[in-house]
Amino acid sequence: MTRPDHTRTSDPTMDTAAHPVRVRWLLLLGVIALSATPGCRQRMADQPYYRALEYAEFFADGRASRPLERGVIHRGQHLETDPLVTGLTPEEWLRAYEYQVPANPETMVVLDDAEKRKRAIGAPRFDQRLPGPKAYVEEFPFPITQDDLHRGQQRYTIFCAVCHGTLGNGQGKIWERGYLIPTSFHTTKVSPKEADVSKINPQGLGKSRGYWMWGIDMPMDQAPVGYYFEVITKGYGGMPSYNAQIPPDDRWRIIAYIRVLQMSQNADPTKLPAEIQKLLASAGGQP
pLDDT of residue 181 exceeding 70:
yes
DSSP 17: T
| Domain count within the chain | 1
> In whole angstroms, what is the distance from residue 81 CA to residue 85 CA?
8
pLDDT score at 266: 72
**If you average pLDDT over every residue of the chain, what do you get?**
79
**12 against 244, higher pLDDT:** 244
CATH number of the domain to which 257 belongs: 1.10.760.10
> In whole angstroms, what is the distance from residue 61 CA to residue 55 CA?
9
pLDDT, tens digit, for every residue of 90-111? 888 877 776 655 555 555 566 6
pTM of structure:
0.66
Q: Is 50 exposed, middle or buried (0-12, 13-18, 19+ CB in 10 A)?
A: middle
In a domain, 190, yes or no: yes
pLDDT score at 129: 60
* % of the chain with per-residue pLDDT over 70: 75
> In whole angstroms, what is the distance from residue 64 CA to residue 72 CA?
19
Which of 124, 266, 128 minimizes the C-alpha distance to 185? Answer: 266
In a domain, 150, yes or no: yes
In a domain, 160, yes or no: yes
**pLDDT class of 261 with cuts at 50, 70, 90:** very high
pLDDT score at 137: 93
Range of the domain at 256: 146-282
pLDDT score at 8: 47
DSSP 221: T
In a domain, 175, yes or no: yes
In a domain, 120, yes or no: no
pLDDT of residue 78 exceeding 70:
yes
> In whole angstroms, what is the distance from residue 287 CA to residue 285 CA?
7
pLDDT score at 184: 92
pLDDT score at 243: 93
